Amino acid sequence: MEVKTLIDAIAFAADKHRNQRRKDADASPYTNHPIALAGVLAVEAGIDDIEVLIAAVLHDTIEDTQATREELTERFGKSIASIVAEATDDKTQSKEARRALQIKSARTLSAKAKLVKLADKICNLRDIANHPPADWSVQRKGEYFAWAEMVVAGLRGTHSVLEELFGAAYAQRVAL
């Protein structure tokens, strides 16, 4: 696997998320989010595992688009599709059930899926602190931060730099 596969994954994710927007007041393009995950992993945490970076870029494609695990397997291989599937919520379940499952399953994720999950939580906390959803109250932001901390508790021991980055992002809750 090489850089060209990473670029293909970025193009794939951008296409799949092309009509989606983030919940911030500016309605930022959704594709900024998976690119930010890859940036946290590669630039800030020094992770150069190409499978992890590709999975980070693709992490929401099954959950939030019409992409399927089979499609990811065919295009990017079984290993990457598996990492993405581990990071994917089952949208047929209620929000509460999905959140509880993330807390419960965090400890049992593969090492690579844990890296993606940590980067996702870092990026989400940063976004909520710096570009919050327009209709979120201070209480709702605080509840998200508290829930993210419970998920990350199950990921502890995975990568010290990512855990420090999460701690710094979590510390922004006081400014909410």
Asked if residue 24 lies in contact with residue 36, where contact means CB atoms within 8 angstroms, the answer is: no
CATH number of the domain encompassing residue 71: 1.10.3210.10
Asked if residue 13 lies in contact with residue 61, where contact means CB atoms within 8 angstroms, the answer is: yes
Q: In this predicted model, what pLDDT tens digit does every residue of 58-94 receive, in sequence order?
A: 999 999 999 999 999 999 999 999 999 999 998 899 9
Q: In this predicted model, what pLDDT tens digit does every residue of 140-169 receive, in sequence order?
A: 999 999 999 999 999 999 999 999 999 999
Q: Given CA atoms 99, 91, 8, 10 in this order, what sign does their dihedral have?
A: negative
Q: In this predicted model, what pLDDT tens digit does every residue of 1-30 receive, in sequence order?
A: 699 999 999 999 999 999 999 998 889 999
Torsion of CA 102, 25, 15, 6, to 10 degrees: -60
For 79-83, the CB contacts below 8 A with 24+ separation are: 79/51, 80/9, 80/51, 80/54, 80/55, 82/110, 83/51, 83/52, 83/55, 83/110, 83/112, 83/113, 83/116
pLDDT of 67 reads 97
Asked if residue 138 lies in contact with residue 176, where contact means CB atoms within 8 angstroms, the answer is: yes
pLDDT of 1 reads 64
Question: Secondary structure of 141-160 in the HEC alphabet?
Answer: HHHHHHHHHHHHHCCCCCCH
For 129-136, the CB contacts below 8 A with 24+ separation are: 129/169, 129/172, 129/173, 129/175, 129/176, 130/172, 131/22, 131/24, 131/25, 131/26, 131/28, 132/24, 132/25, 133/23, 133/24, 134/23, 134/24, 134/25, 135/23, 136/23
Q: Which one is catalytic: 8, 24, 49, 63?
A: 63
Active site residue 49: no
Q: Which one is catalytic: 64, 71, 89, 149?
A: 64
What residue numbers bound the domain in which 95 lies?
3-175
Active site residue 63: yes
| Number of domains making up the chain | 1
Q: In this predicted model, what pLDDT tens digit does every residue of 98-109 receive, in sequence order?
A: 999 999 999 999
Q: Is the pLDDT reported for residue 174 higher than 80?
A: no
